[in-house]
Amino acid sequence: MKSSLHIFFSKQDTKQTLFLFLFAIHPPPLTHHTPYIRARTMTLKRETELSINSMEFDLENPLPHSNDIFSSLFHIEIDHMPSKNYIQTLTSSSSYLSVRHQIASSIVHISRHSDPFLPYLAVNYMDRFLSAHPIPDKKPWIFRLVAVSCISLALKMRKTEKTEYSVFDLMDDGGLMFDSLTIERMEMLILGALKWRMRSVSPFSFLGYFVSFFDCGDDESVQALRNRGTQIILKSQSDIKLLEFKPSIVSASALLLASREFFPTQFEPFRDAICGCIYLIKEELQHCYDVMAEAEAGCEVASTFVSESLTPPNVLDFSCSISETDSNQMSEGVIDNSTTNKSTQLSQGEISD
């Protein structure tokens, strides 16, 4: 009989820690429960497909039927973030950080020929799943299973007439393969951890809202700002320090950074307009902007916070060269990068008056 892998999942203690076990190399014996288990698995599969495929998911419009979409997005975005202690765990545990890196790397590798939004959505699912269910290290096959399952779910959410392929098409790279039942079991575990919130509220969901604050009648300039913001958001997902910020904060920071780079004369009025948004906390926006600017520049820069009552500070300016090659690797097919290979002045403390 051909051998196969069977994955068994169980939860233990109040923390609901995930344990994944390699049960055996042969199928378990049939029991009187087997027909029920198979029937239940098929039912869950059908329910999953109906729930997920009921409507194509647009990262920029996760709530297509909402009357007041942006107000709703600001109120629910926290429900689509990793748990609060996730960043602490990543920064305090090198092994846990390694797990995230290995799974994310697998996601990027497996989906390397797809559009960049597919791995972005899959990594979003991965972070939210890992924040709810730590998984044991030293089991690389589990890492790949999580990666494949997150991609599979992202594919189902992003499926259109142009993307009529399955995760098995992407897995054909000589790596460890899993049968459909194993992937479906892991999918159900991920769905449960995410509470079936698969229409992720991400930084892309707020681009349309914040772009409307950009006072420029030139449609090409607005599109260039939006494209550069998209590029920065895609790249920012690899920086764990940005995971602590709400998606709306990340979105606003990315557009401000893009504005400072592409349209420096428009930066101040754009910044002031965004800071006037009732849904944003100015200090959080400042912090996120500084972290993102530092990551984009590739160097450490001190953040400047000064009281309005003090004399204007000397702002630390520095130049950073943004490589066209690096930009293309992160957002190939998303934006024309012909204008990004230039030196840009970024000043810390710019959001503060």
Instruction: Give pLDDT, residue 322.
Output: 27
pLDDT at 165: 59
In a domain, 353, yes or no: no
**Stated pTM of the model:** 0.71
Same domain, 161 and 208: no
* Angle value at C-alpha 76, between 70 and 79, nearest 5 degrees: 150
HSE-CB of 224 using CA atoms within 13 angstroms: 15
**Same domain assignment for residues 161 and 245:** no
Sequence-distant (6+) residues with CB within 8 A of 50 are none
Spatial separation of the C-alpha atoms in residues 249 and 242, rounded to whole Å: 10
The whole-number pLDDT of residue 135 equals 79
Regarding whether 85 and 57 lie in a shared domain, the answer is yes
Which has the closest alpha carbon to 350: 315, 310, 322, 325?
315
Reduced to 3 states, what is the DSSP secondary structure of residue 65? coil
Domain total for the chain? 2
Scanning the structure block, which residue is given the tokens 């009281």? 307
Per residue of the chain (353 residues), what is the pLDDT tens digit?
333 333 334 343 333 444 443 333 333 344 444 444 444 444 445 445 444 444 566 666 666 655 567 888 898 899 989 988 888 889 888 888 999 999 999 999 988 888 899 999 999 999 999 998 887 767 778 899 999 999 999 988 876 544 555 666 666 655 667 888 899 999 999 999 999 999 999 999 999 999 999 987 688 999 999 999 999 999 999 999 999 999 999 999 999 999 999 999 999 999 999 999 999 999 999 999 999 999 887 633 333 333 333 333 322 222 332 233 334 443 343 434 333 333 333 344 566 55
61 and 209 housed in the same domain: no
Indicate whether 36 and 132 sit together in one domain: yes
Q: List own/partner pairs for 60-69 with CB under 8 A and 24 or more apart.
A: 60/204, 60/205, 60/207, 60/208, 61/205, 61/208, 62/199, 62/200, 62/201, 62/202, 62/205, 63/199
Domain boundary among 193, 219, 236: 193
Same domain, 40 and 161: yes
Is residue 15 domain-shared with residue 116, that is, in the same domain?
yes
Q: Which of 186, 213, 206, 227 is nearest to 41 (CA)?
A: 186
CATH of the domain at 179: 1.10.472
Report DSSP state, residue 167: H
Pair (27, 157) in one structural domain? yes
Within 13 A of 234's CA, how many CA atoms are on the CB side? Answer: 23
Domain range enclosing 306: 203-347
Residue at token pair 């602490």:
88
pLDDT (0 to 100) of residue 268: 94
- The residue among 193, 215, 247 that closes a domain is 193
Q: Are residue 216 and residue 249 in the same domain, yes or no?
A: yes
One domain for residues 210 and 302? yes
In this structure, are 160 and 20 located in the same domain?
A: yes
Dump pLDDT digits (tens) for 152-188: 999 888 765 445 556 666 666 556 678 888 999 999 9
Residue 70: per-residue pLDDT = 80
In a domain, 158, yes or no: yes
